[in-house]
Structure 1
Amino acid sequence: MADFIIPTNTSPDLHGRRRLDGPIHAERHVSIICVGAGASGLLMAYKLQKHFSNYSLTVFEKNPAVSGTWFENRYPGCACDVPSHNYTWSFEPKLDWTGVYSSSKEIYQYFDSFAEKYRLKQYIKTEHQVTGAYWNDGTGGYDVKVQDVKNGQQFSQHCDILINASGILNNWRWPAIPGLDKYKGTLLHTANWDESTDLTGKHVGLIGNGSSGIQVLPKIQPIVSKVTTFIREPTWVSPVQGLEQHVYSDDEKREFVEKAGVLTDYRRGIERGLNGQFGIFLKNSKPNNDTQDYMLEQMKSKLQDQYLEDRLIPKWSVGCRRLTPGVGYLESLGKENVTVVYGEINSVTENGCLCDNGNEYPVDVLICATGFDTTFKPRFPLIGPGGRNLQDQWKDEAQSYLGMAADGFPNYLIFLGPNSPIGNGPVLSAIEAQADYMLKMIDRYQTRNIKTFAPTKEAISDFITHKDSFMTKSVWADPCRSWYKNRPDGPITALWPGSTLHYIEALHDLRIEDWDVKYSGNRFAFLGNGYSQTELDPTADWGYYIRDKDDDGPATTAGKRRLLSRSGTMTGNVGVSFTGKNVGDLEQSKETRANL
């Protein structure tokens, strides 16, 4: 095949002139830098390698290994709160998960194996931290500043397109409690865990009852002499009905390997169930009311303590904060060696925590399960045209285009940016949708003579207006303290205004009308010298459109959706909700599993 390739290292204007010498849609060289080799960065490397040619890619990763948050988080009990078989790429199952909710080490191994299998590490520079990115008007790209973590040296590398895949839950922070630096015991943060620390026989203080704190407590409770857990607010804790923890037997895992279709049917059943949950997040809906009644019953039966019930069971709706399965957490609160202190910590002393009840609680080890900086501001200065810094632009409220881009910052794309579907349903499916959308944009950039692309301010403004209006109907608008928003009564910046399936369909087609696209010279220079690519390929069929019947795919949005979703092939999906069936029971019929 005699593809026409535009030479590299040429100016945008020269690119435009060169196009006139080649066929339509000639693929110019594109240089791409991706920040982060977590799940999103690895997926982007995989998809670029699979679909593109005439490109260069460098992925800078600050850690010594890939997998992002799953490499960093090693605290006792660390696990994912999404069923393991559905915390994989849609096309890349793992056959041997140990249970419905698997440990961070297993998840790290999945993503590391994914990188090894597809030779993605050839693109990745570990222990290299991006410290800044600066728009270069002359080249129409970014000069990216990078520090080699091992030797401290700094250098700059240029790219046409910058992709931020640094994630959300990785910029950990100490709690803003006065006196933390005065504490003389062992101080730990769940996201910066010291694995050499032995908690056996120690009196441990645990600050926080978010996802990390809920996972830590049942893991350390049996080995410590005492746990004093500091809780300042209530939260809903219970697996969603039908998604309780289950450890897979050898027979079940063997069936996944040996019986064709069993694992795929199982995964699809769980995914349907997860996608059927969205009604939980709509106020006063039947799924929300039913789930709240179920979780209320579960919490009361596990707590068996009126004092704890009064303080830990929220008055706000289920789902306002991220739903947490909390395997063993509520039961641990009632153990003899666990003391619950409810309220605020006024300060940390040399010995422990001084609380708003006037009491000081000395501890040998103080664990801060206090989360991350979730403001969505880039972790490094991102300087666009005119010297504008995205860190400043998003200082008060992060506003993105469909969770993937920012106005005024051309050729810049973001994974899991503001208002992505983080807690709306299966998150890895949403990441795949974002990657596919980015590929469409990069393809246009490569095959047309585009110099810059950025979402318009008007498009983002309209999206934010729609999002804010929708959120008033959701449980997320309730007055809870959640990382989904900067303050209890503030705008919801973390979540998509709809379900994950809704997001996938919203991103299916490139809405080029929402983008400010600028060209190098004449926008029609991509038409080139009058030849098609097909004519230059001696192995192609130059009459491919002649056939004996109309076998075209659907031409409409509705038709494409029905084809993709296999409309008409399923029954029983109306009003899908979990009904107590254990997803670990592989003796269920295929029909039952499919309609979980």
Structure 2
Amino acid sequence: MHSSDNKHTPMTPKAASIPQPLKSFSTGTIGTGEYGALTGFTQDQLLDNEFGPVSAVPQARRKKVIIVGGGINGIQQATVLLNDGHVGLNDIQIFDALDSYGGVWQKNKYPGCACDVPAMIYTTSYNINKNWTHFYAQRAEIEEYYYKFAVQYDLPKCTQFKSFVKACHWDEKLMLWHVAVANKFTGEVEHWLADVVCQCVGTFDRPKWGTTPGRENFKGVSWHTAHWRGDYDLRGKRVAMIGCGPSAAQIIPEIVDKTSHLTVYMRTPPVCIPRGDYAYSSLFKWALKWVPKFAWLVRLRMNLRMMKMGRKMATDGDPVNDAMTQQAIQFMESQIKDPELREKLRPKSKYYCKRPLHLDHFYSALAKPNCTVLREDLVRFTENGVLSSDSNTKIESERKFDVIIFGTGFNVAQFLEHEEVLGLGGLDLQHKWKEHPEALYGLATSQFPNMFYCFGPNSAHVWSAQQDSWERQARFVSKAVKEMVQRERKGIKFAMHPRRDVELEYNAQVQSRQSGTFVWARDDCVTYYKNDDGWNTFTMPWTWWQFRRMLRKIFWNQWEVIEKPLKICQF
């Protein structure tokens, strides 16, 4: 579907591939209570979502735009709004459950945490970071960049940290959102009002634990990689790592020498290629800071190269994809000499099927004498450790551990399940998204007026700077806010949400245009990009240029508009 299409025929979306072989992508997740508890909120703060009278809400808690999340998306959304000038700092309120800016880079503080996207691409187009020290950036550098970005725009003046947004209810009479915010500083649940809510919590925000039962039975120490226990000393400990995705693969080389023994439970071997990182020269860093347009040109060149090669690397059957797959196999074999371990680690899927890891020391860490790699089925967690079953013989074995680390990833199969969101007629967002989440352009869903997402369902890709796509979503939201402000000046209260038939058609094409093209849509590909029913919840098929064209303006034939005289909605 192109943005210029005028005719929309409702379609019944179908999954892009058969269901996942193992049920673990949209299950083993966490709800409001556990999500809040991970960042220190009490159970009492997370239970009640009842709102008091609107008249009791102080003026300071009535905003035109509430932004949920102070990470990359929240910062970009706020700064785009401020740059466009239709609202100011006093009209915006940002909430974040953490204690500073950075989002995923503030939350994930495990050893070795870094980005696998070149640093110059992993930056915002209108505020390019000129202080990168390496081709790839470490976590602390990224966090610092986005913190300074926020401060540059005075966002601390409109940001409240340690504040967990736990409910958003649409008020059809007053045409506004009631927002419940648990404030860790005061211990209270605050009632806020907003004309627009921007959900900028991202996708790598909600940890999942897998479906193996008995996690609560383990008497030792355990944690998820997203909530690293920096205060705990792993020296001399028997440690189990559950899972071997990107986070776990970064951690393993950092901790293996500290443990007395590290056991890695691996369901599917990762696809791993050399990282190839290097430090920028003094001359290059000087040019970034002082030569006009140099940083912009470097970023543009990298981005164009990524656009040229990214789709080829992700396309099933493309020679570039085949070559990258072979490179991953050769890299593994060059690092692993033991034949038995080689077979355990041999990639079973094609390059990009599960997002490749750019790592240099991962395989060598797994080959160390004090590390054991197991390709066994987890049965349950016990008081002392892990009970697992040999995939071939089905013989069960219990291994004892002092520490269990869950490298089980994040739930991208569902969105906002930790937040109670009620739209028109009291429709629960999670009820609407029971089978799978869907949104028009990954930024809005029908029946939920004036609620927008950044990095929502199916708005990821691997062939250009992701920040540029998020920026397009933020700029579209700014157009909607401009419309709201201008109509309000004319005495009209305004809200918008996608037409359901347009939303259905768009999402059907998001699925069908990936099926048979990209490696992650293969029936034999087990990836977090898809939920257990085979529905791709994560990626879109469009190029950046196509996506930009779709969002260049508001095509009103795609949207339902709600209007009321402003005086009726005043309180």
TM-score between the two structures when normalised by the length of structure 2: 0.82
What's the CA shift string for 1:61-102, capped at 9, x where partnerless?
111212111111101111111111221111222223232222
Q: Within 5 A, what are the aligned runs for 1:383-532?
A: 383-448=422-487, 449=492, 451-473=494-516, 474-478=518-522, 479-487=524-532, 490-520=534-564
Q: 1:192 is matched with which residue?
A: 227
- The CA deviation at 1:263 is 3.3
CA distance in structure 2 between the partners assigned to 1:196 and 1:75 by the alignment: 11
| Distance in 2 (alpha carbons) for counterparts of 1:208 and 1:423 | 23
Amino acid at match of 2:312: G
| CA drift at 1:30 | 7.3
The 3-state SS of whatever aligns with 2:431 is helix
Secondary structure of 1:160's counterpart equals strand
2 CA distance for matches of 1:258 and 1:421? 33
Superposition deviation, residue 381 in structure 1: 0.9
Q: Hey, what's the Cα distance between the residues in 2 that align with 1:418 and 1:101? A: 27
**Structure 1 position 193, deviation (Å):** 0.9
Going from structure 1 to structure 2, the CA distance change for 1:442 and 1:53 (only over 3 Å counts) comes to closer
The answer to whether the 8 A contact 1:30-1:54 is kept is: no
**Following TM superposition, by how much is the alpha carbon of 1:504 offset from its aligned partner in structure 2, in angstroms?**
2.8
Partner of 2:130: 95
| Residue type of the alignment partner of 1:266 | V
1:135 aligns with 2:178: no
Specify whether residues 234 and 502 from structure 1 end up closer, same or farther in structure 2 by C-alpha distance, changes over 3 A only: farther
Q: For each residue in 1:361-385, what CA deviation from the matched residue of structure 2 results, as whole angstroms up to 9, or x when unmatched?
A: 2222211111122233322111111
1:364 aligns with 2:402: yes
CA distance in 2, matches of 1:384, 1:258: 50
* Deviates most, 71-80 or 439-448: 439-448
**TM-fit CA distance, 1:451:** 1.9
Structure with higher RCO (Cα < 8 A, 6+ apart)? 2
Distance 2:301 2:75 in 1: 26
The alignment status of 1:172 with 2:207, answered yes or no, reads yes
Q: Which of 335, 340, 344 lines up with 1:311 in the alignment?
A: 344
Equivalent in the alignment of 1:293: 326
Counterpart of 1:273 (choices 279, 286, 305) is 305
Given the alignment of the two structures, is residue 206 of structure 1 paired with residue 238 of structure 2, yes or no? no
In the TM superposition, what is the alpha-carbon distance from 1:165 to its structure 2 partner? 0.7
Deviations 1:181-234 (A, max 9, x none): 222222121111111111223222111111101110111123333211110112
Greater shift in the superposed pair: 336-345 or 248-257: 248-257
Residue number among 233, 243, 246 corresponding to 2:268 in the alignment: 233
Q: Which amino acid aligns with 1:414?
A: Y
Once the two structures are superposed, residues 496-528 of structure 1 have per-residue CA deviations (whole angstroms, 9 ceiling, x without a partner) of 123334323332232222101133369xxxxxx
8 Å contact kept, 1:322–1:423: no
Q: Percent identity, aligned pairs only?
A: 27
What's the Cα RMSD here? 2.2
Distance 1:437 1:174, change over 3 A: same
- Matched residue of 1:176: which SS? coil
1:45 aligns with 2:78: yes
Higher mean C-alpha displacement, 408-417 vs 308-317: 308-317
Distance in 1 (alpha carbons) for counterparts of 2:464 and 2:130: 22
Quick check: 1:76 aligned with 2:76? no
Of stretches 33-42 and 489-498 in structure 1, the one that deviates more from structure 2 is 489-498
Q: 1:250 to 1:226 in 2, by over 3 A?
A: farther
CA contact (8 A) 1:142 1:159 kept: yes
**CA-to-partner distance for each residue in 1:242-294, whole Å, 9 max, x for gaps?**
x6211334454334334444433332222122222112222112222222222
Q: Distance in 2 between matches of 1:472 and 1:215?
A: 31
Letter in 2 for 1:421: A
| Cα distance between partner residues in 1 of 2:290 and 2:92 | 38
| CA–CA distance in structure 1, aligned partners of residues 128 and 85 of structure 2 | 24
8 A Cα contact 2:168 2:179, kept in partner: yes
User: For the Cα contact (< 8 Å) 1:416–1:422, is it kept in 2?
Assistant: no
User: Deviation string for 1:21-40 (max 9, x for gaps)?
Assistant: xxxxxxxx971111111111
1:30-68 superposed Cα distances (whole Å, 9 cap, x missing partner): 711111111111111111122124551111111121211
Stretches of structure 1 lacking an aligned partner (at least 5 in a row): 1-10, 12-28, 523-596
Cα pair 2:167 2:179 within 8 Å, conserved? yes
- Give the Cα–Cα distance (whole angstroms) in 1 for the partners of residues 494 and 285 of structure 2: 51
Report the secondary structure of 2:448's partner residue: coil
3-state DSSP of counterpart to 1:82: strand
Q: Partner letter of residue 368 of structure 1?
A: F
Stretch deviating more after TM superposition (415-424 or 456-465): 415-424
**Residues paired across the two proteins, number:** 491
- Structure 2 stretches lacking a partner, 5+ long: 1-53, 55-61, 391-395, 567-571
Q: Which of the pair has more CA radius of gyration?
A: 1
What is the TM-score normalised by the length of structure 1? 0.78
